[in-house]
Amino acid sequence: MRDYQKYAAILAVFATVLYAAVLVAAFGMISLATNLDVIADRSAGPLVGPTMSAAATVLVLLMLMLFGLRTPPDKQRVAVGFAVATGVTAYALFISTGAILVAAGNGEPLAGLLFSGSMLGSPFAISVGVLAFLVALTYSILLASRYGEHGRPLWPWERRGE
């Protein structure tokens, strides 16, 4: 693995951890401000919400890794399209994971369809997509800035190569 790939992989892991932390915080703040539950359907079970969030988080990690490891440093650009695709895909995966789990848990495919319909306009699902977009955009900005090639920031009295 080349140096830029190591930098991209480490940055992707840290960006994903940031995404998961901000997602949990956003869910808490939205729930507190709106007095809504993340999963309004009580029959869904206690693991549907965390599994949906975990699926979106794993997707963000995979998208960041694919983008960072496959693009050489000289071709790195701020990728708004990639960030939009990551956000939309995370939003869709969040909802579809919940629909599949609810349908499998209840044994009724219609329950999964109704669940996904109720989640489409949910502020929680929207925040999943928006936060994935922001993290992916920030990741592409950091890769495009090529900070990893220049090493750590130096104090004014330090020089490169010392």
How far apart are the C-alpha atoms of 155 and 26, rounded to whole Å?
Answer: 36
Confidence of residue 43 (pLDDT cuts 50, 70, 90): confident
How far apart are the C-alpha atoms of 119 and 75, rounded to whole Å?
Answer: 38
- Look at 150 and 12; give whichever has higher pLDDT: 12
pLDDT digits (tens, 9 = 90+) for 84-109: 999 999 999 999 999 999 999 888 88
Q: What is the pTM of this model?
A: 0.88
Are the C-beta atoms of residues 25 and 142 closer than 8 Å to each other? no
pLDDT(151) > 90: no
Q: What pLDDT is attached to residue 18?
A: 97
Q: HSE-up of 147 (CA within 13 Å, CB side)?
A: 13
How far apart are the C-alpha atoms of 79 and 86, rounded to whole Å?
Answer: 11
pLDDT digits (tens, 9 = 90+) for 61-88: 999 999 999 988 777 888 899 999 999 9
The number of folded domains in the chain is: 1
* Structural domain includes residue 94: yes
Q: How far is CA 140 from CA 41, 57, 86, in A?
A: 37, 17, 12
Q: Which domain holds residue 89?
A: 3-149
* Structural domain includes residue 155: no
* Structural domain includes residue 54: yes
* Structural domain includes residue 120: yes
